[in-house]
Amino acid sequence: MADKSRTPMRRKEKKEKKEKETTERSKDVKDVKKEAEQGAPAVEKGAEEGAPNGAAATDQNGEFQVEPMELPPFEIIQGDRIDPFAFKFQFKNVEYSSGRNKTYLCYLVDCGTSDDGLLRGYLEDEHSGSHAEEAFFPQCLPHYDPALKYTVTWYVSSSPCSACATKIAEVLKARTNVKLSIFSARLFEWEEPEIQDGLKALHAAGCKLRVMKPLDFSYAWETFVENEDQPLNLWEDCKENYEYYHDKLADIIQ
């Protein structure tokens, strides 16, 4: 079990982090307003009605406004090796993962045939829409063969959400020739009952769930990152945070 003496400190850290995030967001808004007031040309009455999405405008009282901005379509990015800075940020096994609003999924697939060899790569989901875990099977194994035996290993920046966990469990039950192991840097919202139910469903479907230990971070760095032959310098509390998440996962799937 994790050391309970850490709980008050983590609550304090969470409160301080939330206050810092609020301050930073307020600063961003003030900076945008200041830039608009200093550099934006005068807007004639009614001109703001034709402003493009995301454009700055002023109303009749001279108050600063920002038009709603339409976000681009969500997508899944697939590649061979991850940017080193993205890896260090997204895979850092902190408890309160502020700003880490996407999932990186590094995968190894052994199809049991010498001709195909070992498939390797990564998926990255962009904020919403289809998640990387959900996209893996149709995007990375589009030509699934029930006659083959698949050994699949994932190294993910955070464990699956409840919806993805349920879908993965369904795939594993339907495809008994697929053996999946998931190594997670962090546990995503592990306190939530539905998240715990999803992890239990994965475990019951035969998925091996593990938390990434320091050696796993180094292996992922060597295997999936554009590291330019530079070693990974692990952060100070990497081992401590691994032990914390390891105990939490063990409690959930026991």
| Yes or no: domain 77-253 corresponds to CATH 3.40.140.10 | yes
Taking only the tens place, the pLDDT of each residue in 76-135 is 677 779 999 999 999 999 887 667 778 899 999 998 775 667 899 999 886 556 788 988
pLDDT band at 208 (very low <50, low <70, confident <90, very high): very high
Domain ranges for the chain: 77-253
pLDDT band at 18 (very low <50, low <70, confident <90, very high): very low
Taking only the tens place, the pLDDT of each residue in 153-165 is 999 999 999 999 9
Average pLDDT over residues 8-35: 43
What's the pLDDT score for residue 112? 79
Instruction: Say whether 133 is catalytic.
Output: yes
Average pLDDT over residues 199-208: 96
Average pLDDT over residues 199-205: 96
Question: Rounded to an integer, what distance in angstroms lies between the CA atom of residue 200 and that of residue 177?
Answer: 20
Residue 161: both structure tokens together:
């959400």
What's the pLDDT score for residue 100? 77
Question: Rounded to an integer, what distance in angstroms lies between the CA atom of residue 194 and that of residue 13?
Answer: 25
Residue 57: both structure tokens together:
């405008």
Mean pLDDT of the chain: 76
pLDDT at residue 33 tops 70: no
109-118: list long-range contacts, CB under 8 Å, 24+ apart.
Answer: 109/140, 109/141, 109/150, 109/151, 109/152, 109/153, 110/150, 110/151, 110/152, 111/145, 111/148, 111/149, 111/150, 112/148, 112/149, 112/150, 112/151, 113/148
What's the pLDDT score for residue 102? 83
Residue percentage of the chain with pLDDT more than 70: 66
What's the pLDDT score for residue 101? 74
Marked catalytic residue, from 35, 126, 133, 134: 133
36-39: list long-range contacts, CB under 8 Å, 24+ apart.
Answer: 36/64, 37/64
Helix (H) or strand (E) holding 17: helix 7-39
pLDDT at residue 192 tops 50: yes
What's the pLDDT score for residue 113? 72
Q: Which of 67-71, 142-146, 175-179, 248-252 has the lowest mean pLDDT?
A: 67-71
Token pair 């469990």 in the structure block, residue: 169
